Amino acid sequence: MNTSKSLFLAGLLGTAITATAPAIAEEAAAAAPAAPAAAAPAEPASPHTLSANVGIYGQYVFRGITYTNSRPALQGGFDYAHSSGFFAGVWGSNVDKDALYGNTLEIDLYGGYTHQFTPDIGINVGFLQFYYPDNEHPKLGFGTHESANTTELNAAVTWKWFTLKYNYAVSDFFGLNNKSLGDRKGNSRGSDYWEGSFNYTLPYDINVVLHAGRQSVEGRSVADYTDYLVGINKNFSIAGSTGWNAGVNFTTTNARDSWYVDGKGKTTGDDHVILFLKRTF
C-alpha cells in the first residue's frame, strides 16, 4: 500500500498603516519619500494537514498477490497529519469476488506516529485494519464461515532512500484458522511480513522503486512466500494542475500455485505488470 501528500498552508497579507501629519509639516512631508507600509505578521501555519488521493490501476496487487484477478482497480483515500507526528487515514479499492472470498470492496483504516530524528533518519509506528464491508464470510476448504477482516501492527525505520518495515497480525490472517482450513493448527495470529524498499528520485522527477518482502503465515509454512517489485514513475502537472503521478510496476513471487489461487482456480501470485495514473490533492 504501497504515497506523496500535498501541503496546504494559509497566509494573510497585512494592511498598510498610515498616519496623519501635522498641518505645519504637510509641505515637508510631501517632499519626503514615502515610508514603506508595515506588513502585519503572517498567521502561523496550521498544525493540521489534510490531503486526498485517487488513482486508476491496471490491477490491485497486495504483497505480490492480485486481488482483482488482473482486472483494473479504482483506488483512493484521505489522509490527516498533525505537526506533532500523529497521522490517520482511510483508503479503499475494489477487489474481485473470486479473488477474496466473495468480497467486492476493501477499506483500510490506519494511523500512527512518525518522527524524524535527522533529515535522513526517521521512524514510524502504527496499525492497519483491513475491512470488508460486504463480507460474505469466506467458505474456505471445509465450508466454515470466517471473516477476512485483518488487523496488523507495524513499525518502520527509514534512512535516506531505504525503509525497513515489520508488520504483525494481531488477528487471524485473512480468515485463516482451524475452522476455515480444518488443519488442526489453530489460528493464524502472529503472521508477519518483513519488507525492505528503496525509493530514489532521478532528474526530471522520475522515481525508481525497488521492494522485497517476506510473508509468513503462522503455523502454515506452505503459505509462506517472498515477493519482489520493481517500479518507475514520474511526477508531473497538467495545465498548472499539480500532484499527478504515473508509472508502471512489475511484481513477482515464489508463492505456491497450489495455495494462492482464486475461487475459480486461477493462480494469483504469479508475475504482474501494473500501469497506474493517480493524483494527490
Angle among Cα 253, 256, 257 to the nearest 5 degrees reads: 100
Task: Note the pLDDT tens digit of each residue in 68-101.
Answer: 998 999 999 999 999 999 999 999 999 998 888 7
Tell me what pLDDT residue 136 has.
Answer: 55
Answer for the pair 248, 276: CB distance below 8 angstroms, yes or no: yes
Domain count along the chain: 1
In the 3-class helix/strand/coil scheme, how is the chain assigned residue by residue? CCCCCCCCCCCCCCCCCCCCCCHHHHHHHHHCCCCCCCCCCCCCCCCEEEEEEEEEECCCEECCEECCCCCCEEEEEEEEEECCCEEEEEEEEECCCCCCCCCCEEEEEEEEEEEECCCCEEEEEEEEEEECCCCCCCEECCCEECCCCEEEEEEEEEECCEEEEEEEECCCCCCCCHHHHCCCCCCCCCCEEEEEEEEEEEHHHEEEEEEEEEEECCCCHHHCEEEEEEEEEEEEEECCEEEEEEEEEEEEECCCCCCCECCCCCECCCCEEEEEEEEEC
CA dist 203 → 42, 200, 249 (Å): 34, 10, 19
Q: Which residue has the cell 505578521?
A: 41
In a domain, 5, yes or no: no
In a domain, 232, yes or no: yes
In a domain, 207, yes or no: yes
C-alpha closest to that of 77 among 102, 100, 106, 97: 106
In a domain, 226, yes or no: yes
| pLDDT score of 1 more than 50 | no
**Domain CATH code at residue 239:** 2.40.160.40
CA distance linking residue 87 with residue 51, whole number of Å: 11
* Of 38-47, 87-96, 108-117, the least confident: 38-47
* Of 28-42, 165-179, 215-229, the least confident: 28-42
Tell me what pLDDT residue 214 has.
Answer: 98
In a domain, 13, yes or no: no
Band (pLDDT 50/70/90 cuts) for residue 39 is: low
* Mean pLDDT of all residues belonging to the chain: 85
| pTM for this entry | 0.81
| pLDDT score of 183 more than 50 | yes
| pLDDT score of 244 more than 70 | yes
Tell me what pLDDT residue 106 has.
Answer: 96
**Domain, as residue range, for 78:** 53-280
Report the pLDDT averaged over residues 127-131. Answer: 97
| pLDDT score of 15 more than 70 | no
Report the pLDDT averaged over residues 197-210. Answer: 96
| pLDDT score of 124 more than 70 | yes
* Of 15-24, 134-143, 256-265, the least confident: 15-24
In a domain, 15, yes or no: no
Tell me what pLDDT residue 16 has.
Answer: 32
Report the pLDDT averaged over residues 181-190. Answer: 86
CA distance linking residue 13 with residue 240, whole number of Å: 24
